[in-house]
Amino acid sequence: MNKWMLTAAGLLFLTTGVHVFLGGPEIHVPIQESELHPAVRAVGAVVWHAVTVMLLVFGAACAWLARNSNAPLAWLMIATQIGFAGLFIGYGMTLLGNLTVMPQWIIFALISAIIGIGIRADKAPASSRGTA
């Protein structure tokens, strides 16, 4: 069992919960209740729920990776998480002038690092992983 991948899975599922139950009322609901054009609200809803799906799928993938080694899948998830982190950093700095209003980059960077450690753990000999 790759405990690093299991940890990443847990963080992704936790992030999904935060996204839905805290971010939904703070971000998604006000957008949907706004006077924006219905097409803009519809796209906003699709993007919001697409992120929810991605977080759930990546959580499930990391849970699967806890028992099954697949470096290309793990690297794809790292690339996506780094992309998410980069977007939060880029827009936080350019539009808001700081990284504190949208600190989501921290969890995505952390998850990337944990998955990376999980890839290394998969390559380590069984004796150094504490498994027989």
The tens digit of pLDDT for each residue in 25-76 reads: 999 999 999 999 999 999 999 999 999 999 999 999 999 999 999 999 999 9
Q: What is the mean pLDDT of residues 89-97?
A: 98
Residue 83: closest CA among 42, 111, 64: 111
Q: Report the alpha-carbon distance of residue 58 to residue 52 in Å, rounded.
A: 10
Cβ atoms within 10 Å of 58's Cβ, excluding its own: 23
Model pTM? Answer: 0.89
- Whether the per-residue pLDDT at 132 is higher than 50: the answer is no
- Whether the per-residue pLDDT at 90 is higher than 80: the answer is yes
- Whether the per-residue pLDDT at 101 is higher than 50: the answer is yes
The mean of the pLDDT values for the chain is: 94
Residues in CB range of 29: below 8 A, 6 or more apart: none
- Whether the per-residue pLDDT at 131 is higher than 80: the answer is no
- Per-domain boundaries in the chain: 3-124
